[in-house]
Amino acid sequence: NAGVTQTPKFRVLKTGQSMTLLCAQDMNHEYMYWYRQDPGMGLRLIHYSVGEGTTAKGEVPDGYNVSRLKKQNFLLGLESAAPSQTSVYFCATTTSYGPRHYTFGSGTRLTVV
Partner 1 sequence: KNEVEQSPQNLTAQEGEFITINCSYSVGISALHWLQQHPGGGIVSLFMLSSGKKKHGRLIATINIQEKHSSLHITASHPRDSAVYICAVVLTYSGGGADGLTFGKGTHLIIQP
Nearest distance from C-beta of residue 61 to partner 1, angstroms: 12
Q: How far is the CB of 36 from partner 1 (least distance, A)?
A: 11
Quote the CA–CA distance of 94 and 57 in Å, as a whole number. 17
Candidates 1, 2, 14, 40: give the one binding partner 1 (CB under 8 A). 40
Which among 6, 90, 93, 91 is positioned nearest to 50, based on CA atoms?
A: 93
Site stretch for partner 1 (CB under 8 A), options 16-24, 27-35, 64-72, 79-87 = 27-35
Single residue of 19, 22, 52, 58 touching partner 1 by CB under 8 A: 58
Binder of partner 1 out of 45, 61, 65, 72 (CB under 8 A): 45
Q: What are the C-alpha distances in Å from 95 to residues 4, 62, 84?
A: 13, 26, 32
Angle (nearest 5°) at CA 53 between 79 and 58: 55
Q: Using an 8 Å Cβ cutoff, are 86 and 71 in contact?
A: no
Binding residues (CB under 8 A) for partner 1: these are 31, 33, 35, 40-45, 48, 50, 56, 58, 90, 92, 96, 99-107
